[in-house]
A and B are shown apart, each in its own frame.
Chain A
Amino acid sequence: MHSGGITFAALMQQVLVGLSRTTILFIVSSGLSLVLGVLRIPNVAHGSLYMIGAFVTFSVANFYGQTGFGFIAALVLAPLVVAAVSLVLERGLLCRLYDREHLMLLLFTFAFTLIFADLVKMIWGSDYRSLNAPAWLQGSFDLAGLPFPRYSLFLLIMGPLVALGLWLLTNKTRIGKIARAAAVDREMVDAIGIDVSRVFAAVFVIGCYLAGLGGALVAPTQNITQGMDHTIIIEAFLIVIIGGLGNIWGALLGAAIFGLTDAIGILVWPQFAIVFPYMAVVIVLLIRPRGLLKAIW
């Protein structure tokens, strides 16, 4: 059907767009990876927190009348709100469950996806919500004759910034080092007199903050609705797995594979684009059963 030749410019542009989509996937799944890697919690509620992030972004930005400032304020506040919610969740309930089976933790976080979904419906109603990027991020500029949305460029800049921040956090700070050590051997860290529980709380909150940040960043590009949580969570899990559990760079690589196979799939075989990312996951796992990069566990 699609006989028109694929020009190099179009391909390059598709790659860039795919990469900007990768940014959102990366931010969300790196948070998931952190929680999964260090706390070993398969947090299905991660997607819900992403959704809450998007809704809060909408509310905050609207409060300031969808101005440029409003968006920036939302970008700062929304992830913090999500982090606060997750802190309450962790200190209040989750921290009592750390010695349970992984599957029970899965059940617990699943229960929260149900609760969050209905809470969001109660607070924000079920209408579509839509948020506009500030004026300086709207529209597009020409890239080799094809339009490239400014917002995508913004995302392309945000992605590496977040990755860098995470890298500094895990490699250069005390808490990051403890967290990495705890991921490998929890008893060991406990034994040298560090309060692992506090470290876990911090890691959980950071992970959820990233979910909120992803939700905030994605808000202007799509309509904010219930059901956002469903779509992202399965993709995030697959990304974390193919990248290598608990590995930040793995999350980046996995997200890139997901974003790019999706974007390029559309160009080469639009009818079956939906299948490409899943195929990629299957192939990766068949060749490297424990993910592409070194998994923590």
Chain B
Amino acid sequence: MKRLFGLACFCLSVLVLLPVAAPVAAKTITVGIVDCYSGPPSTYTNDVRDAFKLEIDRINAGGGVLGHKIEFVTRDSKFKVDIGLSAAKELIYRKNVDIMMGTINSALALAISDLCRKEKVPFLVTFAKSAKITGAKGHDYVFSITENTALAGKAAAVGLAKKPYLKYWIAGDDYEYGHAIADAVWNNLRKLKPQVTLLGQSWWKVGEPDFTPYITAILSAKPDAVIVATGGRDCVPFLKAAKATGFNKRVPFYMHTATELSTLKPLGLNAPEGVIGTSNYFFYYPESPENQAFVKRFEAAYKRKPAVGAIYGLLAARFIAGAYRKAGKVKPQAFIKAMEAMTVDSPIGKVTMRACDHQAMLPMFMGTTKKVSGYNFLIADDIVTIAGKDVMPGCDEIARQRKK
């Protein structure tokens, strides 16, 4: 039983060796960020973090908030829920962070959301798209400053209803995100335009290496238009396969993130034209001085154009700073009170945090991919703005979902 004893000793010594929590310097507000910084999702998450840092640095340079400096620590979740959840616990239990932020993984966001509810730490969701976060599973401590599947779906439905298509096909990632966005588009579209019909659906696993089989199956059914509910890493290969098979020329299709910079930039000028997409942000739209100034700052700092994640990072920083200023003290309860119905300025205009569900009301831009001289990648054209309030589900609807 020396061994058992040795094991216990080992465990103890490990605990001693663990970096002891540095005494938090007085007058700092610590933000803990758990997100996936490795693998494909980091294309999106790096922008959130970088824009957040940019904005925090500005705030700190201007004297901070209520005399406090804002600091942040990041942890890589590797897109795994268990790793992310332990990291979140580490940040809350050991680093005693004031606010949690993250993540791109919906399952992890839901898990951390639940943890934050128990620990009474405000949690700002910056990229996860599940509508459950502020919908059915919402609570006092969770805020979303990103669009979600319900909002994107409704925005897309509003846009698509104006087009002449009647026979649809739905295809997408066999993943909560894919199904949720497809359902949201389809249910809203059916309400707005009852005569549409659904010919069929196809679903592929996330990370599907070859889309040609799916595309040929869809083409053989001859729909008027296709709703492609794919996100993240599958966007690029799908667009590539669409180009290779001439899919975009045969059937028009909508793909939520098709117009985003992270999707279009790697494809260069070989991206398919005429694909309809929606997004919260483009570095070239809106063409406001505020946006141009932000893009300039971002480019100066990171030598690249900001993608959609950047707007979430920026909004997070402004909401955090604004809410503490408004509350006048650094206390979670006061922070939550201040966040509700608060409005901040941003490159995409004024954004309000809705009080009833803690969901930021973000405008949505619907555009079509097009080659434009001056860029070595495609950009969105014919941009239509769908205002935040038009895509939000009603507060009564949220209340009903939460009651379930």
Contacts and interface: CB of A to CB of B under 8 A. Distances in A.
A and B: bona fide binding partners: yes
Interface of A: 1-4, 6-7, 9-10, 13-14, 17-18, 20-21, 24, 117-118, 121, 126-130, 132-133, 138-140, 146-147, 149-152, 218, 220-223, 225-227, 230-232, 262-263, 266-267, 270-271, 273-274
Contacts of B215: 147
B174 A227 contact: no
Contacts of B270: 130, 132
A128 B43 contact: yes
Contact of B40 (A7, A126, A147): A126
B207 interface: yes
B164 interface: no
B328 interface: no
B268 A130 contact: yes
Contact of B39 (A21, A226, A266, A274): A226
Contacts of A146: 216, 219-220
B6 interface: no
A2 B203 CA distance: 12
Nearest to B41: A126
Contacts of A126: 37-40, 42-43, 46
- Most chain B CB within a 10 A radius of its CB, from A121, A266, A267: A266
30 contacts: A2-B221, A4-B199, A4-B220, A6-B220, A10-B217, A10-B220, A13-B216, A18-B213, A118-B38, A126-B37, A126-B39, A128-B233, A129-B266, A130-B267, A130-B268, A146-B219, A150-B244, A221-B241, A221-B244, A222-B209, A223-B236, A225-B39, A226-B40, A227-B39, A231-B207, A262-B213, A270-B203, A271-B201, A271-B203, A274-B174
- Most chain A CB within a 10 A radius of its CB, from B40, B240, B244, B266: B244
Contact of B200 (A2, A118, A130, A225): A2
Interface of B: 37-40, 42-43, 46, 174, 198-205, 207, 209-210, 212-217, 219-221, 233, 236-237, 240-241, 243-247, 250, 262, 266-268, 270
Contacts of B240: 130, 132, 220-223
A231 B200 contact: no
B201 A223 contact: no
Nearest to A3: B200
A139 to B, nearest CB: 7
B306 to A, nearest CB: 14
A1 B218 CA distance: 13
Contact of A270 (B201, B233, B243, B266): B201
A149 B43 contact: no
Contacts of A149: 212, 241, 244-245
A13 B199 CA distance: 20
Given A7-B220, A138-B244, A270-B217, A221 B42 contact: no
Given A126-B43, A129-B266, A223-B240, A4 B200 contact: yes
A30 B188 CA distance: 49
A147 B240 CA distance: 14
B200 A222 contact: no
A140 B246 CA distance: 7
A149 B220 CA distance: 15
Given A231-B207, A266-B213, 8 more contacts: A2-B201, A129-B266, A130-B240, A140-B245, A147-B245, A226-B38, A226-B39, A227-B207
Nearest to B40: A225
B43 A14 contact: no
A220 B204 CA distance: 19
B268 A147 contact: no
Given A126-B37, A221-B240, A262-B213, A273 B207 contact: no
Nearest to B79: A227
Contacts of B262: 127-128
A4 B199 CA distance: 8
B49 to A, nearest CB: 12
Nearest to B37: A126
Nearest to B212: A17
Given A2-B201, A132-B268, A231 B209 contact: yes
